[in-house]
Structure 1
Amino acid sequence: MDITNSSSDPSNIWKTFERTSKEGHIKQFWIQSLPDSHIEIAVNYFTECFVKEEPICRAMNVMETEGGLEAMKNIWRNAISEKCCLACFTKDDKNEHKLVALNLCYKSSSSSQKTESHSYQTINDYISNFKNLYQMFNVDGYLGSVGLITLPEYRGYNIGKELLESRKYLCQELGLKLAVTLFTGPASQRLAEKAGYKDVYPVSIDEIEKENPHLIIPNLRNFTKKLRLMYILYDF
C-alpha cells in the first residue's frame, strides 16, 4: 500500500489494516501520528462529532453553554500539542488521503500539573486521581486520552478498536507501559473491553455526586449510568 505523501510520514505509521465496504470493495486504512497539516481538521471533527455524542458533553450542553466549546477546544489542543495523538487515514474516491478517525492522547506523569478547570476536565481528573495510578501500577507515567471519534460514515469497520490497540506501539515509542482512559458511554466501554482494557474501577453517577456534590451534572443519567476508568498494562 502506497501511503507516502505530505500527510503521511512512513516512519510514523503504527498500523495498517483492510476492511470490506458495504459495496464489496477493499478499503485500506492506516494509523499514524496526527500530522500538523490535519490539526484544524481534527479539532473540527471533534467539534462536529465528540461534543454531540459524548455523554458528559451532551449532559453539559457544551455546544450551547457560553465558553463551553472553547474550553473543550483548549483541552483538545493541549493534547494535540504533545504530539502523541493517533489518526486513522484511508483513501477517498479521488485517491486522496482522508482522516476518518482520531484518538487524542497525552502523556501523564507523576509531576504533571493540571491547568484546565473546565467541568469536563475536572470530572476526568477527579476519577483518574481517585486512586494513585502511579503507585498502583508502579509507573512514573501513562498514556491518557481526552477522546476518540470515528466519522459516522466510517463506523462499522471497528476502527475504534484498531486505534485503541495501536496505543501499544505509541506507548512503546514513548517508554510507557500503561494506558488509562475514562470511558464514559456504553459503546466506548464495550469497545475498550474488546481491546483488552480492564477496570481500574467503575464509578456510578450516584457515587460521584455523593462524594463531590460540586461535580453534579444535571441529566448525566440520561446519557450514561456509569463512568469506567479502564487500563491496559503492556509487557515490554
Structure 2
Amino acid sequence: MYKNPETKELKKLIEMSYVLDGNYNTMNVHKLDKFYDDRGIVVRPDYRGYGIALEFFKARRLICKEHGVTMTGAWMTAHGTQKSAQRDGWETVVTVDRDEFAKQMGVTYEPYSPTSIKYMLARIQI
C-alpha cells in the first residue's frame, strides 16, 4: 500500500495503522463486497469547533452512496472526531486503550489526547 516511507516517523505511523487494522476486519465481519476505509478525519487545530468534521462525514456519506458502498469506517483518535462521528451516527465497534497501544508500539501520546482509540463505522443508506 505505502511505498518506501521517507522518515522513521512515517514508517512508525504506517506500522501503527497496520497494527490497529488487525483489530477488526469489517469486510469479513459484515460480509461486504466493498467498503470504504481510511485513517480518520483531521481538522487543523485552529479550525476546530466549526463543524468541519461533520461536513467531511457528510461528503463521505455522499461519496459512498454514489459508489453503492453501504458502510465506511475509520480509526478515530481525537476527542473531536470521536464526538463528531457519534453525532453523525457512527457506531464504535472496537476500542483500544491508548496507553496500552502506546506501550505496545513504543510511542507516547499527548496527555490531552483521548484515553482510547476507536474504530467507528457508518452505515450508508443507498
TM-score range, shorter chain: 0.7 to 0.9
Q: Do structure 1's residue 228 and structure 2's residue 123 form an aligned pair? A: no
- In structure 1, the residue matched to 2:56 is 163
Q: Does 1:148 align with 2:42?
A: yes
| 1:143 alignment partner AA | Y
Aligned residues: CA RMSD = 2.5
Residue in 1 that maps onto 2:78:
185
Identical aligned pairs, as a percentage?
Answer: 19
Encode CA deviations 1:22-78: one digit per residue, 9 max, x unaligned.
xxxxxxxxxxxxxxxxxxxxxxxxxxxxxxxxxxxxxxxxxxxx8257x4xxxxxxx
> Which one has the bigger strand percentage?
1
Task: Classify the secondary structure of the residue corresponding to 1:169.
Answer: helix
Closer, same or farther in 2 for the Cα pair 1:233/1:188, shift >3 Å?
A: same
Please list, as runs of the form range in 1=range in 2, the aligned pairs for 1:56-71 lying within 5 A after superposition: 67=7, 71=10
Aligned-pair CA distance for 1:127 = 1.7
Shift of 1:162: 1.6
For the residues of structure 2 that align with 1:127 and 1:176, how far apart are their CA atoms? 22
In the alignment of these two chains, the number of paired residues is: 119
Point out where structure 2 has 5 or more consecutive residues left out of the alignment.
1-5
SS in structure 1 opposite 2:92? Answer: strand
Is the 8 Å Cα contact of residues 150 and 159 (structure 1) preserved in structure 2? no
Q: How does 1:75-114 map to 2 (within 5 A)?
A: none
* Structure with max Cα Rg: 1
Quote the offset at 1:141 in angstroms. Answer: 2.8
Determine which structure has greater relative contact order: mean sequence separation of CA pairs < 8 Å that are 6+ residues apart, divided by chain length. Answer: 2
Cα gap change, 1:216 to 1:224, in 2 (>3 Å)? farther
| Per-residue CA distance 1:190-224 (angstroms, 9 max, x = gap) | 111111111011110244367xx3x121x326233
Structure 2: distance between partners of 1:175 and 1:188: 24
TM-score, normalised with respect to structure 1: 0.44
2:3 matched residue in structure 1: none
SS at match of 1:232: strand
Counterpart of 2:120 in structure 1: which amino acid? M
Q: 1:132 to 1:220 in 2, by over 3 A?
A: same
With the length of structure 2 as denominator, give the TM-score of the two structures: 0.77
Structure 2 CA distance for aligned equivalents of residues 207 and 201 of structure 1: 14
Q: Hey, what's the Cα distance between the residues in 2 that align with 1:189 and 1:156?
A: 13
Aligned residue type for 2:122: I
Which residue of structure 2 lines up, in the alignment, with residue 176 of structure 1? 69
User: What's the counterpart of residue 119 of structure 1?
Assistant: 12
Aligned partner of 1:128 in structure 2 is 21
SS at match of 1:227: strand
Partner of 1:138: 31
